[in-house]
């Protein structure tokens, strides 16, 4: 049994899911988890280059941001 | 529903998931583009593409939960508000069971909502004394329990009722009320209080007394 805030639980889940979508290794997954924890998901999606991720990964994160924003706007 | 910038949406989607751009373009002539995410099987994509789309869908669900969790001033003053709130947090969680507890102040405003367990609802997953410690730490007046049924069974199990009973009995001497236990199944939620399945406090902490309406 453990106590996690909703934010912590979802941040952890989002990092796991991103790792699956982007086929990331554990090191990059850890980078993403820390980035989301410290700066929030919106900041991370907006500025992936600030966290030392490769340009290929950053490009794909840009795609995810675009898709998420569309779904959020359209109530998907 | 028409998406602005549909073209770039599809291109991003194709790059990210490996889904065929041409197939999607044909599909959206007669269908809502969002169906590509919401109902990926209708496009007969390959297995690995569908997996990526499912992950993307779950990622979006988590994003929505985070956005909803930002709403800290929420006051849970009715069963309907409680059901809506926990639906927004648990409604899209399909792969596992998650147990949440909201700690409320005297005005039934949420002090904190915490994930207390992930897995199954049974005695090994939840330790009432830990919940009591957390309730005292949060200086709350009441709590609401909620969990999801990934199988989408919209009913309270014996274990759900037993867990509620245990928490009521542990928290009652501390003057902390358990207000309700919400069960979320897919896109719907039930309140054990509303359904007449909510146990009353048993000072002997032995025989369970379920109030049947």
Range of the domain at A24: 6-74
Using one digit for the tens of pLDDT, what is the confidence trace for A8-55? Answer: 888 888 999 999 999 999 899 999 999 998 888 889 999 999 998 999
Residue B106 burial (C-beta neighbours within 10 Å; 0-12, 13-18, 19+): exposed
Task: Tell me what pLDDT residue B205 has.
Answer: 62
List residues of A whose CB lies inside 8 A of any B CB: 1-11, 13-14, 17-18, 20-21, 41, 60, 62-64, 66-68, 70-72, 74, 76
Contact B63 A14 (CB under 8 A): yes
For residues B80 and B146, membership in a common domain is answered with yes
Assess whether B22 and B95 both reside in one domain.
no
Q: Which positions in chain B touch A18 (Cβ < 8 Å)?
A: 59
Q: pLDDT, tens digit, for every residue of B116-140?
A: 988 755 545 788 889 999 999 999 9
Per residue in B31-61, pLDDT tens?
888 888 888 887 778 888 999 999 998 899 8
The answer to whether position B164 is within a domain reads yes
Backbone angles phi, psi at B71, to 5 degrees: -80, 80
The per-residue pLDDT for A1 is: 59
**Residue of A12, A13, A19, A37 best to disrupt the B interface, most CBs of B under 10 A:** A13
Q: What is the pTM of this model?
A: 0.68
Total domain count for chain B?
2
Kindly state whether residue B157 falls inside one of the protein's structural domains. Answer: yes
Residues B107 and B161 reside in one and the same domain: yes
The total domain count for chain A is: 1
Residue B124 DSSP SS3: coil
Nearest to B60 among A60, A63, A68 (CB): A68
- The residue with greater pLDDT, B203 or A31, is A31
B126 interfacial to chain A (CB closer than 8 Å):
yes
Tell whether the model's pLDDT for residue B180 goes beyond 70: yes
Statement to judge: residues B61 and B110 lie in one domain: no
Cβ–Cβ < 8 Å for B64, B92: yes
> Would you say residue B18 lies in a domain?
yes
Q: Answer yes or no: is A28 within a domain.
A: yes
Cβ contacts (< 8 Å) between B116 and chain A: which residues?
A: 1-3
| B3 band by pLDDT with thresholds 50, 70 and 90 | low
**Chain B residue nearest residue A69, CA to CA:** B60
**pLDDT of A64 above 90:** yes
ipTM: 0.90
CATH of the domain at B122: 3.40.140.10
The pLDDT of B191-212, averaged and rounded, is 73
pLDDT at B140: 95
* Residues B150 and B97 placed together within one structural domain of the fold: yes
Task: For tokens 């501390």, name the residue.
Answer: B174
Angle at B197 between CA B194 and CA B201, to 5 degrees: 110
Mean pLDDT, chain B, rounded, equals 85
Question: In terms of domains, do B32 and B55 share one?
Answer: yes
Domain that holds residue B105: 75-191
pLDDT at position B83 over 90: yes
Instruction: Taking each helix axis as running N to C, give the angle between helix B47-69 and helix A55-74, from 0 to 180 degrees, rounded to the nearest 10.
Output: 70
Distance of alpha carbon A61 from alpha carbon B53, whole angstroms: 14
Q: Best of A60, A65, A74 to disrupt the B interface by mutation (most B CBs within 10 Å)? A: A74
């Amino acid at each position: 049994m453990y106590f996690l805030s909703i934010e912590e639980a979802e941040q952890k889940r989002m990092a796991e899911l991103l790792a699956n979508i982007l086929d990331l290794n554990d090191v990059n997954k850890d980078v993403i988890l820390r980035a989301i924890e410290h700066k929030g998901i919106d900041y991370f999606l907006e500025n992936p280059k600030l966290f030392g991720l490769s340009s290929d990964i950053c490009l794909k994160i840009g795609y995810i941001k675009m898709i998420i924003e569309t779904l959020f706007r359209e109530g998907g | 529903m028409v998406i602005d910038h549909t073209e770039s949406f599809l291109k991003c989607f194709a790059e990210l998931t490996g889904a065929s751009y041409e197939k999607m373009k044909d599909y959206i002539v007669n269908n809502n583009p969002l169906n590509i995410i919401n109902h990926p099987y209708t496009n007969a994509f390959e297995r690995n593409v569908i997996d990526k789309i499912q992950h993307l869908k779950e990622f979006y669900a988590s994003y929505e939960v985070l956005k909803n969790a930002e709403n800290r001033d929420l006051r849970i003053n009715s069963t309907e508000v409680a059901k809506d709130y926990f639906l927004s947090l648990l409604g899209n969680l399909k792969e596992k069971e998650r147990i949440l507890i909201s700690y409320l102040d005297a005005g039934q405003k949420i002090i904190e909502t915490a994930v207390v367990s992930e897995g199954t609802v049974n005695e090994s997953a939840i330790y009432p004394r830990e919940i009591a410690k957390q309730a005292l730490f949060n200086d709350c007046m009441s709590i609401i329990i909620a969990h999801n049924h990934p199988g989408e069974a919209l009913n309270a199990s014996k274990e759900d009722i037993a867990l509620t009973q245990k928490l009521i009995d542990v928290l009652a001497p501390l003057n902390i009320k358990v207000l309700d236990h919400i069960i979320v199944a897919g896109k719907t939620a039930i309140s054990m209080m509303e359904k007449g399945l909510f146990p009353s406090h048993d000072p002997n902490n032995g025989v369970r007394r379920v109030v049947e309406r």
